[in-house]
Amino acid sequence: MTGTVIPEILIAICLLMGALFMLVGSFGLLKLDSPMKRMHAPTKASTLGVGALLLASMLHSFAFDDGSLHEILIMAFLFVTAPISANFIAKVAIHRGRDMPTPEPPKDQTWSTLDVPAETGSPDAPEAPVRG
C-alpha cells in the first residue's frame, strides 16, 4: 500500500504541472494580440507542457508496469519538428506585414523570405540560382 503512494504523488505533480503549462500556453494564445507574439505561447506548451505529461507517463509505466521509454522518442520528434513549423508561421507573418516592420539585416542585403525575384508571377521568370 505505502509502496505505491510516492510514485502516485510524483505522477500527479507531473500531470498537474503539464496541464498548468498547457493552460497557460492556450491562455497566451487567446490573450496576446499580434501574430508574432502569439507564436511564443505554443512553443511553451509544446516543450514543458508535453514534457511533463510524458514524464508522468514514463513514471507510471516504471512504477506499475514493465517500464517504457517510447516517450523520449515523442519528445525528440517534437523538438525537431516544432522549430520548423514555427519558422514557417513566422515567414507568413513577415509576408503579411501586419506585425512590427522587420529591421534591416546588419550584414547582407535582405531577409531570405523577402528576397523574391522582381518578375514574380510571370511564367518565364528566371529560376532562382541553385546553391552548390
Q: Does 107 bind other proteins (CB under 8 A)?
A: yes
Of residues 7 through 26, those in contact with other proteins by CB under 8 A are: 21, 24
Q: Which of 11, 14, 39, 53 binds other proteins (CB under 8 A)?
A: 39
Angle 80-34-26 (CA atoms, 0-180°, nearest 5)? 60
Distance of CA 59 to the CA centre of its chain: 24
Q: Which range in 5-13, 75-83, 117-125 contacts other proteins by CB under 8 A? A: 75-83
- Residue with cell string 505529461: 53
Q: Which three cell numbers stand for residue 25?
A: 500556453
Q: Which three cell numbers stand for residue 55?
A: 514524464
Q: Which of 5, 33, 129, 130 binds other proteins (CB under 8 A)?
A: 33
CB atoms within 10 A of CB 51: 19
Q: Which range in 7-15, 104-112, 117-125 contacts other proteins by CB under 8 A? A: 104-112
Of residues 41 through 70, those in contact with other proteins by CB under 8 A are: 41, 43-44, 47-48, 68-70
